[in-house]
């Protein structure tokens, strides 16, 4: 009876997790290339950049190559005190592309993060109807801008955030990032973001298209100047000030490689993990429960197989079959995730290892938040421990 109960509970847990992930998937609209309907509005594109010499040429090349009317676009790169060749690369490209300009962010004021300050400085440079904030490590396709503007107009949005296609190269990227995104699929609910009656908001700062009127009404980046997840914080401000927002996938139109080494990945995710998962308490819960569930996938069938071998009965055999089916379903989901991220399927097989590494990283993020210091790109920021959990 105990074996049957364990098997049934395991199957119910797996079914619940997969159902939650499927619900997220159904709520996750993917932006496809689309024609621009009507006149093209004037757009100010802001690219905040700090030490992005390895990536910024691809980003700016993609922006300059947009098939959006060139007369309706102004691109401003805001160099946030880079110590590599970021500014020189951007200035070199600006000389050959008149819509592109480079400015310096200047000294970082107290209480601001580097990115929020750079975005704020860039937003002040133009007066277009729309603002588009795009990270320097993204790779835009030519149809990105017109497709985003078309979708925002058709949906009556004030803010449209897009999730780029993740380009994963190193072992660390291929293990940890899919595990984190799958955990978000299990734990989150994207439907809340699109619900105007729900104050919750999720956004991805790698691409934010926002009406300037809504940006100003929300207080812009000044209103979220100290936030490490300024994207979702700004989206929440837009929402509470009456704006409509949406988060969509955009794999066909924009890619991103966020981290090019394990130290970069570690520092970047430690900085943002508690905000991503909704606070210290929620992050701790997911970090502790995630590996337990992941390792249960091989452990529970193995334990039940040993039980069947010792005391073979029809009920024990049925319990084993159900547990194996549940574990295979969970494995299949992670193999599908590996295929989605265009990485070898072996990484899907390694999902228990991936969740364990992600949990260690999450606990490091909690520790950093409690210590009140978060590091990012050569700067150290003060951070308050999450007192709301």
The position carrying tokens 């000030």 is: 241
Same domain, 57 and 132: yes
The predicted model scores a pTM of: 0.89
| Residues in contact with 135: Cβ distance below 8 Å, sequence separation at least 6, in sequence order | 47, 48, 59, 205, 206, 207, 256
Q: CA angle 25-336-173, nearest 5°?
A: 95
Per-block mean pLDDT, blocks of 10 residues, the chain (389 long): 90 94 83 90 96 94 94 95 93 84 94 94 93 97 97 95 95 95 84 77 93 97 92 94 94 93 90 87 94 97 93 91 97 95 96 97 92 79 50
CATH of the domain at 109: 3.90.550.10
Q: Which two tokens stand for residue 71?
A: 């007369």
Same domain, 255 and 347: no
Same domain, 101 and 249: yes
Structure confidence at residue 383 (pLDDT): 66
Q: Which two tokens stand for residue 211?
A: 């009406």
Residue 196 domain-assigned (yes or no): no
Contact 228, 66 (CB under 8 A): no
Structure confidence at residue 387 (pLDDT): 34
Same domain, 295 and 339: yes
Q: Please give the Cα distance from 237 to 224 (Å, whole number).
A: 9
CA dihedral sign of residues 226, 230, 234, 235:
negative
Annotate 268-279 with three-state secondary structure: HHHHHHHHHCCC
Residue 66 domain-assigned (yes or no): yes
Same domain, 48 and 92: yes
**DSSP assignment, residue 50?**
S
Closest CA to 35 of 175, 181, 112, 145: 145
Residue 131 domain-assigned (yes or no): yes
Domain end, chosen from 226, 259, 292, is at 259
Residue 175 domain-assigned (yes or no): no
Q: CA angle 129-130-134, nearest 5°?
A: 155
Structural domain including 101 reads 31-164+204-259
Domain count, the chain: 2
Structure confidence at residue 25 (pLDDT): 79
Same domain, 58 and 136: yes
pLDDT, tens only, 276-326: 888 899 999 999 999 999 999 999 999 999 989 988 898 989 999 999 999
Same domain, 291 and 239: no
Q: Please give the Cα distance from 263 to 270 (Å, whole number).
A: 10
Per DSSP, helices labelled H in the chain are 2-27, 56-64, 86-94, 114-123, 144-155, 171-187, 191-194, 212-218, 230-240, 262-276, 280-310, 314-340, 346-349, 351-371
Same domain, 312 and 223: no
Same domain, 217 and 95: yes
Same domain, 42 and 96: yes
Residue 350 domain-assigned (yes or no): yes
Same domain, 41 and 151: yes
pLDDT, tens only, 54-88: 999 999 999 999 999 999 999 999 999 999 999 99
Q: Please give the Cα distance from 42 to 64 (Å, whole number).
A: 15
Residue 181 domain-assigned (yes or no): no
Same domain, 124 and 10: no
Residue 56 domain-assigned (yes or no): yes
């Amino acid at each position: 009876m105990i074996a049957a109960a364990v098997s049934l509970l395991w199957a119910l847990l797996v079914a619940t997790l997969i159902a939650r992930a499927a619900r997220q998937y159904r709520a996750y609209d993917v932006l496809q290339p689309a024609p621009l309907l009507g006149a093209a509005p004037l757009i100010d594109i802001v690219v905040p950049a700090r030490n992005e010499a390895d990536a910024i040429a691809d980003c700016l090349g993609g922006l300059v190559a947009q098939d959006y009317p060139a007369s309706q676009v102004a691109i401003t790169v805001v160099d946030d005190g880079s110590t590599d060749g970021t500014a020189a690369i951007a200035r070199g490209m600006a000389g050959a592309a008149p819509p592109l300009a480079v400015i310096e962010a200047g000294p970082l004021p107290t209480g601001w993060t580097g990115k929020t300050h750079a975005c704020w400085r860039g937003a002040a440079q133009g007066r277009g109807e729309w603002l588009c904030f795009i990270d320097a490590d993204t790779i835009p396709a030519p149809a990105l801008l017109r497709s985003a503007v078309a979708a925002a107009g058709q949906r009556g949005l004030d803010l449209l955030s897009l999730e780029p296609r993740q380009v994963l190269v190193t072992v660390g990227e291929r293990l940890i990032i899919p595990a984190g995104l799958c955990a978000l699929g299990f734990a989150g609910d994207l439907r809340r973001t699109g619900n105007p009656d729900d104050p919750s908001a999720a956004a991805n700062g790698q691409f934010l298209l926002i009406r300037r009127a809504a940006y100003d009404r929300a207080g812009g980046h000044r209103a979220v100047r100290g936030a490490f997840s300024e994207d979702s914080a700004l989206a929440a401000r837009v929402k509470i000030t009456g704006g409509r927002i949406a988060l969509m996938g955009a794999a066909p139109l924009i890619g991103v490689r966020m981290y090019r080494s394990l130290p970069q990945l570690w520092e970047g995710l430690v900085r943002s993990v508690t905000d991503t998962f909704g606070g210290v308490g929620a992050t701790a819960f997911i970090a502790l429960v995630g590996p337990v569930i992941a390792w249960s996938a091989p452990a529970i069938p193995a334990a039940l197989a040993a039980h069947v071998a010792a005391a073979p009965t029809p009920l024990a055999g049925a319990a084993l079959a159900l547990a194996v089916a549940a574990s295979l379903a969970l494995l299949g989901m992670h193999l599908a995730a590996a295929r989605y991220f265009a990485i070898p399927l072996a990484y899907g097989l390694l999902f228990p290892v991936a969740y364990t590494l992600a949990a260690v990283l999450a606990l490091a993020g909690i520790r950093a938040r409690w210590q009140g210091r978060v590091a990012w790109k050569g700067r150290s920021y003060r951070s308050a421990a999450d007192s709301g959990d």
